[in-house]
Structure 1
Amino acid sequence: MAVARIYQRPKNAMQSGRARTDRWVVEFEQTSPQEPDPLTGWAGHANTRTQVRMNFPTLEAAKDYAMREGHEFHVVPSPTRTLKLQAYADNFR
């Protein structure tokens, strides 16, 4: 049985916009460690479910999908957004 993680995407630290941060993401956790490929040496494993990432408009829709498909899941709460209010004049103190 696959364990799913449901979370909301955080804001990109490199940009000021908050695009797609309102969407909820369902990802499946790894059940076995990655092993190096004998030919190339790249890490990987046969379980392709960890490569799947699905987006949902609401938390309820993501939970409904996980329950309908019979997956165990846990919801990772999104961090609270704090604003740091300061005046421009504070730069010259």
Structure 2
Amino acid sequence: MKKAKIYKPNKTAMQSGLGKTDKWILEFEVEDPTKNPLMGWESSSDTYSEIKLEFSTKELAINYAKKKKIDFELIEPKKRKVIKKSYADNFLN
């Protein structure tokens, strides 16, 4: 079976909040992308690259991959470092 990666998506640069980052994604790795000679676009005959499965928890994604005998790589999300700021801090010190 093909290799997949299980990860939690990061927020996009256009997001200020953390919406749509609570799901875990199982996505198959793309193999052998080629350049389309007519249009110059990147294409592939690998239809697994179009599949992106969403799970509510990491455990559900791992159990699904094990049940379907899919080799997977688990990518843990990095912890966000939150620095509390206040407008008043600009005028102190």
Tell me the TM-score normalised to structure 2 length: 0.86
Residue equivalent to 2:56: 57
- Shift, 1:16, TM fit: 1.9
Q: Secondary structure at the match of 1:27?
A: strand
Q: Following the alignment from structure 1 to structure 2, what is the Cα–Cα distance between the partners of residues 86 and 41?
A: 47
RMSD: 1.5
- Shift, 1:63, TM fit: 0.6
Aligned pairs, number: 92
Residue equivalent to 1:90: 89
- Shift, 1:40, TM fit: 2.3
Moved over 4 A (4+): none
Does the 8 A contact of 1:6 with 1:26 survive in 2? yes
Q: How does 1:63-82 map to 2 (within 5 A)?
A: 63-82=62-81
Taking only the aligned residue pairs, the percentage that are identical comes to 37
Tell me the TM-score normalised to structure 1 length: 0.86
